Chains A and B, each alone.
Chain A
């Protein structure tokens, strides 16, 4: 098991390195210098600027420097917002994004699991149909539609929520729903189908014949054994929430990383685009790795080989 985990870890580092390399060379493949503004600058000023940003050195040296800086957590300087370092900008805007992201993550898992369990326990009955209808709708309406629609009806028309910002706890409601609706639907469907299969298996019959209560059977036996696909999904869930947050933060004017990301794309602020891409990728790969580790810990078949775990 230790071998499996260390293998995954090395693989994560390799992917990360490849992404950083690809990002660097892609950004350098863009024709024209990012320092060429609309105003003509004198030769000397141009040279000075290039030296300041280190653009006068050969590409491979720039690449080495970039990697070295990355190790110190230095992501360079934003080109549009002069004298602001990218890592500071990310650090400052990470708070709101993280709080919203965690809220959405927990909501997705909890609500998704509850819907999935209810649907599986009441297979082919009213509750099942209801839960699955919610799930299909949740899958069909993307965040770029759901967020502005809720903002319009619940924010403007009914006035129940603020349409922008992330100041009070009530401000979390709409962005969280916008982020979590898709993942809730996905988890509910995933858990339902696995759980229906598990509920039909022999060990559930054994548990039932031992006289265990329905609650114990569902929570301790069926749910635990249906969780594996959900655990695997957690890595992709994070990806979905990050993607969603880019949209949702813009629509609800939340000062998070997603908002910076869109601005950086519109401004073609390359260091900022690179910095945020690498930051996002790092979070994603880390969660995927943690999901792999969690999978090993949850799956009893994987546990038997190693000494770590229980």
Chain B
């Protein structure tokens, strides 16, 4: 039974002599603390920076953001001028990622798409954050009847399938970047609100909150100055992991033709365009597809690293 062996090796609690080391009495300094004393944030930063995969994700995010901001300024082509004598060209020295069916430079379009994807991701996550903190903070702090009613409302919103609501809203509204973000935020904030609620409920009876109350601090001050900052860990993690979801949702909606309208193109739109000509012009699919995957990957591994760093159970 190799698995028994594995198990016993994994959880071996036996004390064998080789685990012990003989120390001279003079070498032991009981009066000094050998490990540097760290504040909570220092500890979290240390654990995060020592996580190679998470730092790699962070690096990728920074690079993508910088490229998305600056590349469109540097690159000699723009994303909207058609050049019908130069359509569907494979990548070469002039057009690094080739051109699309209207002769537009794909390299430029990929970075303009990056702007949209990153903007949608961050904007949707921030709106979720604001609504979630206010709603969840109030739910968690007041509790009782207020919590019950507000929670029921959130539950009902949550029970309606997210993407179906977003699709319905976009069918009705004029498709644009703003409408996509609004549609995504209408039900997207519920998750964040629940995270905040749970944290606030747990924190509100701790001594420092009670002390602040005893000193006569107002409720809003207690919620926003004491409880929310202390609940920042799980909030940050949820925020980071919301971004790739929002980016994916935007790509999905653009794929359905409900995204931003031409000549602006997000990665989802470009992928959708690319699928049609896949067998003849594969580069039109692959470049936006690769960058979409990289960004989703980067935010996911960074978010995971952040969660591990904030988890006291994983502390060594």
> Which residue of chain A is the closest to B271 with respect to CB atoms?
A144
21 CB-based A-B contacts, threshold 8 Å: A14-B156, A15-B156, A18-B160, A137-B297, A139-B296, A139-B297, A140-B294, A142-B292, A144-B252, A148-B271, A149-B286, A152-B282, A204-B11, A205-B11, A214-B4, A243-B252, A247-B255, A277-B167, A280-B164, A281-B161, A285-B161
Give chain A nearest CB distance to B216 CB in angstroms.
Answer: 42
Chain B: CB-nearest residue to A200: B11
**In the complex, which residues of chain B have a beta carbon less than 8 angstroms from the beta carbon of A152?**
278-279, 282, 285
- B10 near A214 with CB under 8 A, answer no
Chain A residues 188-231 with CB under 8 Å of chain B are 199-200, 204-205, 208, 213-215, 217-218
Determine the chain A residues whose CB is within 8 A of the CB of B285 once the complex forms.
148-149, 152
In whole angstroms, how far apart are the Cα atoms of A272 and B255 in the complex?
Answer: 19
Q: Quick check: is B243 within 8 A (CB to CB) of the other chain?
A: no
Contact check, B10 vs A199: say whether CB atoms are below 8 A apart. Answer: yes
- Interface contact A217-B7, CB-CB below 8 Å: yes
Cα distance A205–B293 when bound, in Å?
42
Question: Which among B159, B171, B257, B271 is the interface contact of A145 at CB below 8 angstroms?
Answer: B271
Give the docked Cα–Cα distance between A246 and B256 (Å). 9
Q: Report A-chain residues with C-beta under 8 Å of the C-beta of B257.
A: 262, 265-266
How many Å from the CB of B159 to the closest CB on chain A?
4
Q: Is A151 an interface residue (CB 8 A)?
A: yes
Whether A213 and B1, one on each chain, are in contact in the complex, defined by CB atoms closer than 8 angstroms, is yes
Is A71 an interface residue when CB atoms closer than 8 A count as contact? Answer: no
B301 at the interface (CB under 8 A from A): yes
Complex-state Cα separation, A247 to B253, whole angstroms: 10
CA distance A217 to B156 in the complex (A): 40
A213 to B6, CA, bound (A): 11
A142-B6 contact, Cβ under 8 Å, with A11-B159, A15-B159, A265-B167:
no
For the complex, is A44 an interface residue (Cβ under 8 Å from B)? Answer: no
Q: Is the CB of A29 within 8 A of B258?
A: no
CB contacts (< 8 Å) of B279 on chain A: these are 152, 156
Q: Tell me which of B167, B278, B297 contacts A148 (CB under 8 A).
A: B278
In the complex, A273 has a CB within 8 A of chain B = yes
A12 touches B172 (CB 8 A): no
Identity of the chain A residue whose Cβ is nearest the Cβ of B291 in the assembled complex = A145
Contacts of B180 in A (CB 8 A): none
Most chain B CB within a 10 A radius of its CB, from A148, A149, A200, A280: A148
Give the residue among B4, B257, B274 with the most A Cβ atoms within 10 A.
B4
Which listed residue, A22, A122, A199, touches B168 by the CB 8 Å rule? A22
A residues less than 8 Å from B163 (CB atoms): 239, 243
Pick from B11, B161, B162, B289: contact of A149, CB below 8 A: B289
Chain B residues closer than 8 Å to A30, beta-carbon distance: 171-172
Whether the pair B7, A144 counts as a contact (CB closer than 8 A) is no
Contacts of A208 in B (CB 8 A): 7-8, 11
Residues of A in contact with B (beta carbons under 8 Å apart): 11-12, 14-15, 18-19, 22-23, 26-27, 29-30, 121-123, 136-137, 139-142, 144-145, 148-149, 151-152, 156, 199-200, 204-205, 208, 213-215, 217-218, 239, 243, 246-247, 251, 262, 265-266, 268, 273, 277, 280-281, 284-285, 288
Shortest CB-to-CB span from B262 to chain A, Å, is 15
* A-contacting residues, B268-284, CB 8 Å: 268, 271-272, 274-275, 278-279, 282
Residue of A nearest to B313 (CB): A197
Chain A residue numbers with a CB within 8 Å of B293 are 140-142, 145
Please give, as numbers and ranges, the residues of chain A lying within 8 Å of B248 by CB-CB distance: 142
Interface residues of B in 115-174 (CB under 8 A from A): 155-156, 159-165, 167-169, 171-172
**Could you tell me the distance between the alpha carbons of A291 and B7 in the complex, rounded to whole angstroms?**
31
| B-side contacts of A281, CB under 8 Å | 160-161, 164
Task: Indicate if the CB atoms of B297 and A214 lie closer than 8 Å.
Answer: no
CA A18 – CA B3 in complex, angstroms? 51
Given contacts A27-B172, A149-B286, 19 further A-B contacts (CB under 8 A): A11-B155, A22-B165, A136-B297, A136-B301, A137-B297, A140-B293, A142-B248, A142-B296, A144-B251, A148-B271, A149-B289, A200-B11, A217-B7, A243-B252, A251-B275, A262-B256, A266-B257, A280-B161, A281-B164
Cα–Cα, bound, A218→B251 (Å): 40
**Chain B proximity of A253: nearest CB distance (Å):** 11
What's the minimum C-beta distance from A222 to chain B, rounded to whole angstroms? 9
